[in-house]
Structure 1
């Protein structure tokens, strides 16, 4: 198979700007001519092996930064936006989208933001009777989606928060050691930690300087909520600085993001980067062994594995997703080429939807996306009990996966017939942007394909995709 050429003009310009170098100086340090560098920065030429080596040797750059998933994310998000019926007659070819994502990522993000604003305006107008007369009836980006996109385009890795959490947990012996450090930090702040039979997982009273955790929740949840509050209490300056950098459009988005960053700190403190990465490699990413070792839940471990993208010390690029019983994606991240739909649910052929049928068991799946990339997908339900009789049970399913080229490092790949093409199930992102013509679970026709409708013939679908 021929080696894929690497076009990374936008990333090269970003690196040069970060180093405060002119094109002439940058070209000299890379050992190439100024015209050659200019052509690479404009994606008229691929990045050469000489340049890749020079970036690593001259600047100590993690060369995997050149092939991050930003381009794939942008292409996927643009294709989903263009699946909107308003673009039915003006859909640009996929090659144009890839050029835009590579050469003008800022323009691509602006387009995605514009479509999101249009979509929300359309939804607001559809429920105008509910919005009329309200003082806050103005059109603005959904705070939740704005925060979700912030983490999405940060590759779900926040370096400053991750390193602060790792520094906090250094030399702590397991989850009990982390818990003792957290209690000591609270004591130093004059805060008393106590437990009570309450519905709220965590209740902090700044006036009384008390943190109350629910006895109805699991020990893992109690420790996680303790660390979350610790981040809010002791890392506020770092949290606020990160939020200032993000420049959210509303106070609501900023508040949601602050909780998200505190959650990030809690997970990183419970599973410190270096220690956790080494343990993940040692156990071949066994979620149950890692959960027992770090005092974390299966979902917390899976989520943490998807964040191990520190430059110079990256783990396996995983995708991670959580869906509810309706199939709606409630958490999503991918460090792989597989990207998720921004709106709605995931492909119905994906094993994450079947996890609800087998509670307490892991489901393994070999899957292939329309671009020919093959993945190992691991799915499991993560039901969360209410803690008392009659309390509602929150039911979710999670999926964690990676490309099959990492199979040797994954215990869940053992025994799977990875070399057998027939063992792979065809999955996609969403029906509107999936190009498969013979999917028996298709809900709507694919974008960029014409249909044939024969009133005298009814196959699996009421139309034939050309």
Structure 2
């Protein structure tokens, strides 16, 4: 006679409780059990009985497979990913150890993952402070810099928030029954989307008017931007609990830093609603990461699609890890996301040899480039301009360039490298992180000398590079 398989659902049960905003006592009262029993279930110290599974399903209107599903697979995958950090390289982990820990000790697993994330944030903060920026000089390490706080929060988590992905995917299924986000907002919230001229919006692109039960949109936004704004409004209305939970994982010195991060998480949720994780992850492989084709399939802009590609790191369902940067014609960075280990310049300008700065010469055209850093790391990058601003005559339009890239090892999966030889066989453009940290002494594009090099006088000899350097 076959032995009945015991069902341990600790992480799933804890996630369900938090998504509903319940304490253990609240859930215990709903299910007519003791709070201590809920605690034991969440720690995987007790299996879930069939009777309680049925009661959970009826009480919270759940599909039973929601709880009986992964059995903590997400936590196992996250833990296994973290243990690959070079910090643990000298420790011999057995293949099954991480899985055993995640399954049998979910509380310890969550505590370890939180601690590791805090460590990552602190490492990023130390890198900022060690880069030599002066207070008030505009660098990321300025005391109380809200932009730096938000960037560190996102970078420490590789811009991946599975909780938001799961919630947005469920919401996308509900939206699909009403065909459009506008239709869902009308049916679920009695809010009508209305497009009005810019003079009515008075400097806004989206405004929620509770009195008239309307969401007003600037009618000069293109279709993808209007749809994103509706998705963003819906995220604020229905995914507040999940956004708050993701935000609670961080420690912010400034209120502005916390608000910027909340905005970033709401934007993440909106993109996940338009491009649900499972469907989008399948599509990126089917279309070989063709950003323009993916944008057409999901009704998103080039920038929205490129941004979404940086978030596909859900444990167990990872796709190519990308980095993303957005710059204006003056070289100012307005957005920066890293999921590919690219060493962005935290202070000063970027390397002028990177074609993201040259994309303005060929507006709306994708340009590709192989890159090699001074330490030998190789990356593949695509760059293209995008436009922000109004769509009417006389409206100010802002041109920016965005670059999306990945490590050379992953480049063969992209449509942009098809027909090319292997990355190691292709000549790459030698670039630096920033001039102050780049030791390529022969570079004629250099704007500053690197840290620690003695500059030679030029009264006898002038080098082709802007600076000549001593050999020692």
1:154 Cα offset (Å): 1.6
**1:143-164 CA-partner distances (Å, limit 9, x unpaired):** 2221122112221112222211
Corresponding residue to 2:94 among 22, 44, 51: 51
Aligned ranges 1:127-206 → 2 under 5 Å: 141-170=144-173, 180-198=180-198, 200-206=204-210
Which whole-Å CA distance do the structure 2 matches of 1:44 and 1:156 have between them? 22
Give the corresponding residue for 1:96.
Answer: none
- State the SS of the aligned residue for 1:399: strand
TM-score, normalisation: structure 2: 0.71
Distance in 2 between residues matched to 1:392 and 1:268, nearest whole Å: 29
Q: Does 1:461 align with 2:466?
A: yes
1: CA distance, partners of 2:375 / 2:299: 38
Deviation at 1:254, TM superposition (A): 2.4
Tell whether the 8 Å contact from 1:379 to 1:398 is kept in structure 2 after alignment. yes
Structure 2 counterpart SS, 1:255: helix
2:66 maps to: none
Distance 1:335 1:324 in 2: 22
Distance 1:366 1:186 in 2: 48
Alignment of 1:30-69 (within 5 A): 46-48=90-92, 50-52=93-95, 54-56=97-99, 59=102
Instruction: Call closer, same or farther: CA 1:416–1:464 in 2, change over 3 Å.
Output: farther
Listed as ranges, the gaps of 5+ residues in structure 2 are: 1-41, 44-83, 105-112
Q: Which consecutive residues of structure 1, in runs of 5 or more, have no partner in the other structure?
A: 1-18, 21-39, 62-69, 71-100, 125-138
* Residue 140 of structure 1: how far off its partner (Å): 5.0
**In the TM superposition, what is the alpha-carbon distance from 1:340 to its structure 2 partner?**
0.8
Q: What per-residue deviation string (whole Å, max 9, x for no partner) do you get for residues 85-120 of structure 1?
A: xxxxxxxxxxxxxxxx99x76764553465699833
Matched, 1:208 2:252: no
Once the two structures are superposed, what CA deviation does each residue of 1:285-325 show, in whole Å capped at 9, x if it has no partner? 01111011000011111111011111111110111111111
Equivalent residue number for residue 325 of structure 2: 321
CA-atom RMSD in angstroms: 3.3
> Which residue of 2 is the match for residue 130 of structure 1?
none
Give the match for residue 32 of structure 2: none
Q: 1:389 to 1:403 in 2, by over 3 A?
A: same
Which position in structure 1 is the counterpart of 2:255? Answer: 251
Matching of residues 20-419 of structure 1 within 5 Å: 46-48=90-92, 50-52=93-95, 54-56=97-99, 59=102, 108-109=123-124, 111-112=126-127, 119-120=134-135, 141-170=144-173, 180-198=180-198, 200-418=204-422
Distance in 1, Cα, partners of 2:414 & 2:125: 38
Is structure 2 residue 461 aligned with structure 1 residue 446? no
Q: CA deviation at 1:432?
A: 1.0
TM-score w.r.t. structure 1 length? 0.72
Distance 1:224 1:415, change over 3 A: same
In the superposition, relative to structure 1, how do residues 116 and 252 fare at CA in structure 2: closer, same or farther (>3 Å)? farther
Write the distance in 2 (CA, Å) between the matches of 1:260 and 1:335: 16
Matched, 1:423 2:424: no
Q: State how far apart, in whole Å, the 1-side matches of 2:127 and 2:227 are.
A: 38
| Distance (Å, rounded) in 2 between the aligned partners of 1:44 and 1:327 | 38
Structure index of larger Rg? 2
Matched position secondary structure for 2:358: helix
